[in-house]
Amino acid sequence: MTASQPLTATLSKREACDRRWDVGIIGAGVAGASLAIHLARQGQSVLLMESQRFPREKVCGGCLNQRAIASLEELGVLPACQAAGAVEIDAIRIRQGTHEHRWAIPRMLSMRRSTLDTILVRQAIASGADYLDQTYVSMGPSEPRTAGEVRMQLRSRDNEAKAPHEVQVRVAMVAAGLTRSPLAKREAWPATIEPHSRIGVQTLVPAESLEGHPGPWSDALQLRAQHDLDMLIGTDGYLGISRTDGDFYDFAAALDPAAIGKHGSIAAAIDALLASGGLPTIRAITPQGWKSTPHLTRRSWPVARDRVFLVGDSMGYVEPFTGEGMSWAMAGAKWLSDRLQDPLALSSDQGSGDRAMAEVETAWNDWAGIQRRRHQTVCQWVASQVRYPTRTAWVLRGLDWIPPVRNILLRKATQ
C-alpha cells in the first residue's frame, strides 16, 4: 500500500460512540497523528478523528528539519517517508531583488503533506489507534460534563442536518489547526491574532511543467540545484520553492493580505514576487491553483484546561521558514504523551487521577510558554527583518561577512 492510496475509517461513528475512549484526538495532521502513535503504543484507547478524506493536500512548505527528522525516526516512519520519495535539502538560497546568497544548512527533507500525514495516520492505526474520517467534531460552550470525561459531538460532512452523535473521552486533544474550529464558540479558550500577520498560500506544480520543455522556467531551473530550498524575499512577503516527492515543486509563501487586494489575486501577487527576484511568472502553469490559510501569527492561551489540550498549530503559530511548525508539533506530541501516561493509568473516579491530570495541564501551559520564548524567537526576529527591504539587505550581507553568526542562526532555524 502506498501513501497515495486513500485511507479508510477503521470503525463507524455509531461504533465510536458505543465506546468510552481514553483519548479523543481532533485532527489527523502531524500533531494529531503523532500523538495517536505515541499514546496507542502506551496501550491507551485512542480515537483519531479527521474532517477530510486522506490523502489530501494542505498549505505547507513541506520542509522537515533536523528535529522533525529525529521525531520521524522515533515514530518509526522515516523509512516510509524516504521510500515515498522525500527529497533531501542541504542548502538554502535566499534572493532579494538581484542579490543572491547561498548557504549550506543541516540536512532537511522536503515532502508533501498529503504523503506525510497519510504515512503517519497509517502508523497510528498500525499502533492500535482507531481512525474516523470525514467527520466534523464540535465541543459546545456549555456541554454537560461528569467527572473525568469530555463529551464531543460528531457530524458527517454529508449529513449536517441530522442530530450529531456524541462520544465520551477521558482526555480531548484539539489538533485542528489555526482556527481551532471545535472550540470556536468557547469563551474559555481565547486566541489573539497579531495585527500585521500574513497569510499562508501554496500550490504544487508538476516538475514536467517547469522542466520538461524549453522555456523561462526550465532555463532558470538549470541554474539551480534540486537540493536547494529557494527563498525569495519581497516587500509583500516571501516565497519558498523546493522540489518534493511525486515529481512536484512546492511553492509556499507568506503574503501580506493587502498585497492580494493590490494585485487582484493570489496568483498575481506571487507573480509580482517572482518578478522582483528575477524569476519567470508562474500563473499560466499552476493547474492545481492556490490554497490559502487564515492569518498565520496567532496565540492561544491557555493551551490546557478541564481535560482538553491544544496541540500543534492550535496552540499558536508564527510565520514559518524551515518547517518549525511540524517540528514543534512532533516534539510536543512526544512530550505530552509521556506525561499523560501516569494520569491515564489512574481510575477516572479517583481524586488522585484528577489531580494528576491538573498537574499535566499546568505543565503543558508552562511548556508552551517556554517553547514560544526558546524556539520561536528566531522566527519572530526573521519575520520582523524581512518586512523592511533595506534592513533585510544589510542583514543578509552581514551574515555573509560574519559566518559564525550566520551558522548559529541557520542551526537554530533548522534544528
- What whole-number distance in Å separates Cα of residue 202 and Cα of residue 36? 27
One domain for residues 27 and 102? no
**Which CATH number is 104's domain given?**
3.30.9.10
One domain for residues 189 and 201? no
One domain for residues 27 and 38? yes
In a domain, 29, yes or no: yes
One domain for residues 344 and 372? yes
Task: Give residue 355's pLDDT.
Answer: 87
Average pLDDT, the chain: 85
Task: Give residue 319's pLDDT.
Answer: 67
Q: Domain residues for 402?
A: 63-111+195-296+383-413
Query: Residue 23 pairs with which residues in a beta bridge?
Result: 46, 171
State the 10-residue block means of pLDDT for the chain, 415 residues long: 77 92 96 97 97 90 89 97 94 84 88 96 98 88 62 78 81 91 80 86 88 67 72 88 92 92 92 86 78 86 93 81 79 94 78 85 91 65 66 72 69 62
One domain for residues 139 and 278? no
One domain for residues 140 and 188? yes
In a domain, 126, yes or no: yes
Task: Give residue 144's pLDDT.
Answer: 47
In a domain, 2, yes or no: no
- What whole-number distance in Å separates Cα of residue 10 and Cα of residue 234? 46
Task: Give residue 310's pLDDT.
Answer: 95
One domain for residues 260 and 354? no
Residue count of the chain, please give it: 415
One domain for residues 42 and 124? yes
Task: Give residue 193's pLDDT.
Answer: 85
Task: Give residue 93's pLDDT.
Answer: 87
- What whole-number distance in Å separates Cα of residue 312 and Cα of residue 315? 6
One domain for residues 245 and 134? no
pTM metric for this prediction: 0.90
One domain for residues 127 and 238? no
One domain for residues 127 and 230? no
Per-residue pLDDT tens over the stretch 223-269: 566 788 888 888 888 899 999 999 999 999 999 999 999 999 999 99
Query: Helix and strand tally (H, E) in the chain?
Result: 14, 19
The pairing of strands 130-132 and 46-49 is parallel
Q: What is the tally of structural domains in the chain?
A: 2
Structure-block grid coordinates of residue 25 = 484526538
Rounded (10°) angle between helices 389-401 and 377-385: 120
Task: Give residue 197's pLDDT.
Answer: 86
